[in-house]
Amino acid sequence: MKGKILTFNSRFLNEIFNGEIAGKFALNKASENFLALQEVLLENGLQNQFELKNLIETVKNGRHYGLFVSLLNSINLDVLYKSRTHGLFHIERTAFWASVLASLLKLNGQNFRLAVILAMYHDTGRVDDSEDRAHGKRSAQNLANLGLQLTEKELKIAQCVVEAHSINDSEFEDLLGKYGLKENKRIRTLFNVLKDADGLDRVRLRRLDINPKFLRTEFSKKCILAAFTLKQIYDTMEQE
């Protein structure tokens, strides 16, 4: 897709991928949140962070960029939870991070598509913004009714991973059995991508509630500053 301009329905994603904001945006490095983030990165030896503009190019120049645009443009807005914390903007950013991680991990087209779909619909079962272990299960149940054109096996994998995203990692193995699945690299990778894509957007929370120790891939740990930058870009554009 290199050289082609593909348009998103989302003005935020369209500006991020097709505009110049990502290359020109300057963080306020004197802000309390930025200083707190720098301290977190220093404490965890994670000063070597990816730049957001380079991650955008990774997705944009990848084999599955057209698929990513198509998926985001087909998102069913009616089924998303309506909230500033877990609503559309969070979903867009989580889908963005799923596409970044899927690209860095070199997932094939099938798994790239599944990773982004999981990110798009992982919170449809929410009823409020509280810590709710059951919302993953409700979201998983919703997947069967969204017309996502998944195979029977893909649906089982999707439901298992989405249900697992709101509970402890240690409970994932039991969920595999519930859905008649066995642990394998594909399922574990999709699980890691969704959990980390969702986790990276924890920079949106007031307490900057992100702990690198809970990110599962080394790539994710290098995306923390970029996640903070992306959230600041959304905030800036929302005020325009």
In a structure prediction context, what are the per-residue pLDDT tens digits for the chain, which is 240 residues long? 455 689 999 999 999 999 988 888 888 888 888 999 999 999 999 999 999 999 999 999 999 999 999 999 999 999 999 998 899 999 999 999 999 999 999 999 999 999 999 999 999 999 898 888 999 999 999 999 999 999 999 999 999 999 999 999 999 999 999 999 999 999 999 999 999 999 999 998 876 778 899 999 999 999 999 999 999 999 999 987
Could you tell me if residue 20 is inside a domain?
no
pLDDT of residue 179: 96
pTM tops 0.75, yes or no? yes
pLDDT of residue 207: 64
Could you tell me if residue 197 is inside a domain?
yes
Compute CA distances 167 → 30, 205, 228, whole Å: 36, 19, 24
Q: Six-digit token pair at 193?
A: 């991508």
* Domain count for the chain: 1
Compute CA distances 81 → 69, 123, 146, whole Å: 21, 7, 14
Three-state SS letters, 178-192: HCCCCCCHHHHHHHH
Could you tell me if residue 2 is inside a domain?
no
Q: Six-digit token pair at 36?
A: 């707190």
pLDDT of residue 131: 83
Report helix, strand and coil shares of the chain as percent, to nearest 5: 60, 0, 40
Could you tell me if residue 27 is inside a domain?
no
Could you tell me if residue 7 is inside a domain?
no
pLDDT of residue 1: 45
Q: Six-digit token pair at 191?
A: 């699980």
Could you tell me if residue 59 is inside a domain?
yes
Range(s) of the domain holding residue 62: 33-238
Burial status of residue 88 (CB atoms within 10 A of its CB: 0-12, 13-18, 19 or more) = middle
Round the CA-based radius of gyration of the chain to a whole number and report it. Answer: 17
DSSP conformational letter for 65: H
Place of tokens 């965890």: 44
CATH number at residue 76: 1.10.3210.10
Place of tokens 């697992």: 164
DSSP conformational letter for 50: -
Could you tell me if residue 129 is inside a domain?
yes
Could you tell me if residue 6 is inside a domain?
no
CA separation for the pair 86, 99 (Å, rounded) = 19
DSSP 171-224: GHHHHHHHTT----HHHHHHHHHHHHHHHHGGGGSTT----GGG--SHHHHTSH
